[in-house]
Amino acid sequence: MKKRINFKEIIIYEDNDYIIINKPAFISSLEDRKDRLNILKLARNYWPGAIVCHRLDKDTTGCLVIAKNNMAYKNMALQFQNRKVVKTYHAVVDGVHNFDQYKIQVPLISGTGNARVDFKKGKKSETEFRVIKKYRAHTLVECVPLSGRLHQIRVHLAYLKAPVSGDEKYGGKIFYLSSIKKKYRFSTRKDERPLIKRFALHAFSVAFRDMHGKKISCQAPYPDDYRILLSKLDKFGQ
């Protein structure tokens, strides 16, 4: 059973035109035929005219911008179109990597809920990566998408042989504590459970201009599962 979400408790910024939330995992940004609960519905229960300005994957947590009115939404849409919105993600990826302000320009094509690299038919897609911290078998990576394609960060990292941990769709491995903790013994009564029950991607920050040209910049604290994952990596994954 899903945990009930109190919309007010996930708000990290609010003014007369915008709300920024720290989106929880396992909930869609927009309407989902498989689930009646979504961020748009929660936002409109809080503010009837709310419009979600962009999407985060269902499993992705972090900064999500919501406009309170049509003019605010158009302001955001124009900034997205002109690449003026700066979104920064943190991803725990499989393997040890040396991304140092590395920019990838690989075209992507999307289908029904999937995306893939396609050098003939794909649309221009750019992402910048920077290593935050290296572990024995994983890397914490900062990701800045310069375009907004479906699953862009996930597919680009998979293309670089650095799939997001837990992202089975694109080659990531499920993260078990036994994979980093030596001599770890889990209960013989049950199979070991994943340390994080989703792919390890978090929308850490967002920055844009409000209706008057003032810069808005917000950071979203790590959710509990992500924080625990990093604490275990710090303790056992060095």
Residues labelled as active-site residues: 57
Q: Is 179 helix (H, G, I), strand (E, B) or coil?
A: helix
CA 105/CA 3 separation, integer angstroms: 39
Element (H, E) at 36: none
Length of the chain: 238
Torsion from C-alpha of 57, 109, 163, 130, nearest 10 degrees: -90
Report how far residue 111's alpha carbon sits from residue 47's, in angstroms, rounded to the nearest whole number.
Answer: 33
Strand partners, 207: 86, 217
Q: By three-state DSSP, how is residue 151 classified?
A: coil
